[in-house]
């Protein structure tokens, strides 16, 4: 579970915020994220690894490409982050995607 300082660090990092944002409504691989944000793929992988470690992003599937390589797809697990400053202390509250939403997304995929 991510601590308050770690969450603040993610929110302070422009590309980590943008990755969380685009993965909220999209399931993308690292190359697609890199292309959308115009950043190097190596930077994207480093940011994703950190977000995965903090349990803010999850690998949702691995697809084998025609070249025989495995391509991982990611999705945000965060539906909201509240930051509160009170009495000289910073508090962060994570709102995670609920299981109902995961099932709804799965149903939407099958409906397509």
Strand order in the sheet with 28-29: 28-29, 70-76, 57-64
Give the C-alpha separation, 55 to 78, whole Å: 9
Q: Domain of residue 48: give its range.
A: 4-111
Q: Phi and psi of 73, rounded to 5°? A: -115, 145
Hey, how many other C-beta atoms are within 10 angstroms of the C-beta on 35? 13
Average pLDDT in the chain: 89
**pLDDT surpassing 80 at residue 110:** no
- pLDDT category of residue 102 using cuts at 50, 70 and 90: low
Give the C-alpha separation, 4 to 34, whole Å: 27
Percent pLDDT > 70 in the chain is 87
| pLDDT for position 4 | 87
Lookup: tokens for 4 = 């308050």
- pLDDT category of residue 98 using cuts at 50, 70 and 90: confident
**pLDDT surpassing 70 at residue 15:** yes
Inter-residue contact 95 to 78 (CB < 8 Å): yes
Q: 14-22 vs 41-53: helix axis angle to the nearest 10?
A: 80
pLDDT tens digits along 21-72: 999 999 999 999 999 999 999 999 999 999 999 999 999 999 998 988 899 9
- Number of structural domains found in the chain: 1
CATH of the domain at 21: 1.10.10.10
Give the C-alpha separation, 75 to 29, whole Å: 9
| pLDDT for position 65 | 86
């Amino acid at each position: 579970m991510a601590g308050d300082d770690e969450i603040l660090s993610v929110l302070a990092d422009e590309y980590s915020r943008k990755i969380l944002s685009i993965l909220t409504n999209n399931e993308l691989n690292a190359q697609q994220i890199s292309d959308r944000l115009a950043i190097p793929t190596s930077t994207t992988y480093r940011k994703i690894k950190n977000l995965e470690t903090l349990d803010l992003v999850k690998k949702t599937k691995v697809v084998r490409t025609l070249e025989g390589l495995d391509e991982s797809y990611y999705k945000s697990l965060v539906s909201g982050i509240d930051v509160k400053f009170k009495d000289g202390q910073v508090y962060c509250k994570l709102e995670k995607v609920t299981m109902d939403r995961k099932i709804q997304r799965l149903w939407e995929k099958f409906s397509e």
